[in-house]
Amino acid sequence: MKIKLDSPLDMHLHLRDGDMLKRVAPLSSKSFAGALVMPNLIPPVTDKDMVEDYKTRILEAAGDESFEPYMTLFFKPEYDYDFLKDVKEKILAIKLYPAGITTNSSDGVDNFSVEALAPTLEAMSELGIPLCVHGETNGFVMDREAEFIPIYERLARRFPDLKIIMEHITTKEAVEALMRYENLYATITLHHLYITLDDVAGGLLRPHLFCKPIAKRPEDRMSLRKVAFMAHEKVMFGSDSAPHPRDKKEAPGCAAGVFTAPVALPGLAAIFEEAGVLENLQKFVSDNAQKIYGITPPKKEVILKKEPFEVPESYEDVVPMFSQQTLPWRIESVI
Ligand code: NCD
Ligand code: ZN
């Protein structure tokens, strides 16, 4: 059995910089036609020159003409209309992190009052720049996403013309909120379709499955699967593939992030096939994102074949999800 995917897109990807960028970029550009690249470098990507320079480094590392890095800017409440107008053509979205909530987010937002955010969000709304949000409070770890939902709702109501993307949703509450507002959309990762907290910490601790937001309950996973498997037009694939070197994961203080770039498409094919919805994968990994963001990615045809794929133990010093396991689907060819 085979399936053809046209121009798959990964709408939430961490590519890092330097040697790590060189290591991981080809693993995405090989099978994806484009990716929304997260700006949480050290220091974060906060102006036009940084965006342009980072994009140049990505293209060089990716070495593939049919891969488009869609760039993002790290949200700051001081961005004004003129600044954003100037940078607009170079970015596809702006990513908002609550301060200190995840990897490299210490420069994020700590005041979520509408007044504090309004000038920048109004300008984004007028200029048609979508807002991507890491929606977690600093509350109890399992409740952080659900606690953030009133903030999403406030923003969605106050800025009805602003497209707001709820990044890497993990809860049934998030799925429900998504459906209540026309201008809310969401990305869903591969790992949150597969795992619950049990897989992370229910037996031996699995540091390579530790990420933010933390995987939740079976009923949450069920809600995510439901909207992903039907390829609901408000959801799209965003891997949140977040590589960290082994010594930062297998450590007393484990860095948050699951590395899925090289296993994403086979992993999705496996779980969509198991659910009997392989025909919906095209929408989930490309068509929905094209509509939501209004983009036309480079042409890339990926053929997946139902044949065993033995996932490598590691890619240099980065351990992928499904390390040393066998997935039932593999990438046969890319044109
Ligand atoms: C991401 C990273 O490592 O940059 N980590 C993660 O657990 N997902 C940041 C993020 O998206 O939260
Ligand atoms: Zn992320």
Question: Residues 205, 198: contact at Cβ < 8 Å?
Answer: no
Query: How far is the centre of ligand 1, averaged over its atoms, from the C-alpha of 194 (Å)?
Result: 17
Does the annotation mark 240 as catalytic?
yes
Residue 270, pLDDT score? 98
- Ligand having the closest approach to the CA of 191: 1
Over the stretch 227-251, which tens digit does the pLDDT of each residue have? 999 999 999 999 999 999 999 999 9
Q: How far is the CA of 240 from the centre of ligand 2 (A)?
A: 4
CA of 242 to the centre of ligand 1 (A): 6
Contact 232, 304 (CB under 8 A): no
Q: What is the pLDDT of residue 211?
A: 98
Average pLDDT over residues 149-167: 98
Residues 6+ apart with CB under 8 A from 109: 75, 77, 96, 97, 98, 99, 116, 117
pLDDT tens by residue, 199-221: 999 999 999 999 999 999 999 99
Mutate to test the pocket of ligand 1, among 105, 192, 211 (most ligand atoms within 8 A of CB): 211
> Which ligand sits nearest to residue 102's alpha carbon?
1
Q: Which of 164, 142, 124, 165 is nearest to 12 (CA)?
A: 165
- Closest-approaching ligand to the CA atom of 105: 1
Q: What digits encode the pLDDT tens for the residues 44-82?
A: 999 999 999 999 999 999 999 899 999 999 999 999 999
Atom of ligand 1 nearest to the CA of 101: 12
Question: Which ligand 1 atom is at minimum distance from the Cα of 102?
Answer: 12
Ligand 1: lining residues by beta carbon, under 6 Å: 14, 40, 102-104, 134, 211-212, 240, 242, 256-257
Neighbours of ion ligand 2 (CB under 5 A): 240
Which is the catalytic residue, given 49, 240, 287, 317?
A: 240
Report the residue among 11, 103, 216 best suited for mutation to probe ligand 1: largest number of ligand atoms under 8 A from its CB.
103
Residue 59 CA, ligand 1 centroid: distance in Å: 22
The mean pLDDT value for 147-165 works out to 98
Q: Give the model's pLDDT for residue 103.
A: 87
For ligand 1, mutation pick of 21, 240, 259, 260 (most atoms within 8 Å of CB): 240
Neighbours of 20 (CB within 10 A): 18
Q: How many residues does the chain have?
A: 335
Q: Domains along the chain?
A: 13-257 (3.20.20.140)
pLDDT tens-digit series, residues 71-116: 999 999 999 999 999 999 999 999 999 999 988 999 999 999 999 9
C-alpha of residue 1 to centroid of ligand 1, in Å: 34
Coil, helix or strand for 321? coil
Q: What pLDDT sits at residue 80? A: 96
Question: CB under 8 Å to 92, separation ≥6 — which residues?
Answer: 36, 70, 71, 72, 130, 293, 295
**Pick from 219, 139, 131: which is nearest to 174 by CA?**
219
